[in-house]
Amino acid sequence: MFVSDRAILHLDMDAFFASVEQARRPELRGKPVIVGGERGGRGVVSACSYEARVYGVHSALPIAQAERLCPQAEFLPVDMKAYLAVHRSLVGLLERYTDLVEVASIDEAFLDITGSRRLFGPPRTIAHRIQEEVYTGHGVTCSIGIGPTKLLAKLAAGMHKPAGIGELTAADVHGRLRDLPVGDVCGIGPVTQERLAALGLTTVGMLQDVPFPLLAAAFGRGAHGLRQLALGRGLSPVRSERPLPKSIGRELTFDDDVSGGDPLRATLLSLTDSAVAGLRRKGLAARTVTLKVRFSSFHTVSRRRTLPRPVSAVRPLFETVTALLDELDIGARQVRLVGVSVSGFTQNAFQLTLDDGWREVALGEAVDRVREKYGFRSLTLAGGASAYRRLEHDSPAQSFHPAAQAARDTTASPSGASPPAPVAAPPAHARRAV
């Protein structure tokens, strides 16, 4: 059922990363812009302007292929700091219209403006005001959808990109929605789309009309959810509290393909260290570790393992990563990319015993304070698991416990002092993160 007077907006930034770059460099407006790596590089496209999309460029496309499709494009590295700054400003703007703002991603948000209409006018008026403020403040555009549910609002935004305002009502569920491909519906991924296609169900209307027993026979308990999505009733209400992320991960594409365990382990240690730093910033611990390996042939494999309890220290997670690497038995095969991600989060869960690695957590917190002051690369780890043994052997006890002492030691230097020397130099072969 729909709440008839509910008014929800879905704000979707248009080609967000590329648009921010065009706003910073006005000479790039109207020109194809590809964000993700340098010309001739081995990374993948993170985002591209609409001018680049007409040539077939899209996100996740290898940079080399994007260059072949659109050689006249401007290729730019990812500047996440700049994009996050714009994102935070946009969230602040939205929160001036309603307390019910749900951030879906760096370039998407839902707003429940049901209670805001007396102050700011009808939904379309509010949508126009937001669009104007976004462009005036940051020089970027957004598409906004209006609907009685999050799903209908999101679909409406997607149907009016770029820089449009669309609206879908409950009456449109059995009208305008019926001809949409099922893959356009949020919540229906590629695998489910393939399974539906095998049943001859390719449009939302077909999914609405198929006898439920047939759907249940194919999808079991998931059948009800699919039907709800087809009727525009999927997705939860707008929630202002920030949900836990699904995962935190880091990937790196090598400048040149590598083989052998040592280079891979050194890089994986660096990636694990970075992912765990992200854990600590959010006050999280993780139970599940995933290793991703892409070979020179572009064949990609992943392995996942769930730990007995949540952890927030590098060593147990890195040991799990290396165990997964060993299981792959890579041998002499050439590797193009490796990645590490953690998931299965618990909030505010930290190790408190010697066996759980409390000293490493304390060290990690101290390292975070150093990195906040001098940058992430001011302290790095390299060299595989032996790095931890060297740290424990070479570092004084106060470097591990208490963390407050280590923090005082690192912040007591006079203004303008050089940052502390790194623990070890980053791997020379690993220079491009994607």
The answer to whether residue 70 sits within a structural domain is: yes
The answer to whether residue 109 sits within a structural domain is: no
- Which secondary structure element, helix H or strand E, spans residue 212, and what is its range? helix 212-219
Separation of alpha carbons 19 and 22, rounded Å: 5
Are the C-beta atoms of residues 184 and 158 closer than 8 Å to each other? yes
| Residuewise pLDDT in 10s, the chain (434 residues) | 455 588 999 999 999 999 999 999 999 999 999 999 888 888 889 999 999 999 999 998 999 999 999 999 999 999 999 999 999 999 999 999 999 999 999 999 999 999 999 999 999 999 999 999 999 999 999 999 999 999 999 999 999 999 999 999 999 999 999 999 999 998 898 899 999 999 999 999 999 999 999 999 999 989 999 999 999 886 678 988 776 778 899 988 888 899 877 888 989 998 998 888 888 777 888 999 999 999 999 899 999 999 998 888 888 999 999 999 999 888 888 999 999 999 998 875 444 333 444 455 555 555 555 555 555 554 555 444 444 433 333 333 222 222 322 332 333 333 333 333 333 333 444 444 33
User: What residues form DSSP beta bridges with 346?
Assistant: 285
372 is catalytic: no
Contacts of 5 (CB under 8 A, 6+ apart): 114
State the catalytic residue, choosing from 51, 67, 108, 251. 108
Tell whether 223 and 264 lie within a shared domain: no
Structure tokens at 362: 């304390």
Structure tokens at 63: 């940079």
Separation of alpha carbons 185 and 240, rounded Å: 23
Tell whether 254 and 353 lie within a shared domain: yes
SS3 state of residue 43: coil
Instruction: Please give the torsion angle defined by the CA atoms of residues 202, 203, 208 and 212, in that order, rounded to the nearest 10 degrees.
Output: 0
Q: What is the pTM of this model?
A: 0.66
Q: How many domains does the chain have?
A: 3
Assign residue 352 the CATH number of its domain.
Answer: 3.30.1490.100
The answer to whether residue 237 sits within a structural domain is: no
Tell whether 257 and 157 lie within a shared domain: no
Are the C-beta atoms of residues 68 and 56 closer than 8 Å to each other? no
Are the C-beta atoms of residues 298 and 335 closer than 8 Å to each other? no
The answer to whether residue 259 sits within a structural domain is: yes
| Helix (DSSP H) and strand (DSSP E) numbers for the chain | 16, 13
Tell whether 313 and 423 lie within a shared domain: yes
Give the residue numbers spanning the domain of 211: 174-230
Tell whether 396 and 377 lie within a shared domain: yes
- Can you say whether the dihedral through the CA atoms of 215, 220, 226, 228 is positive or negative? positive
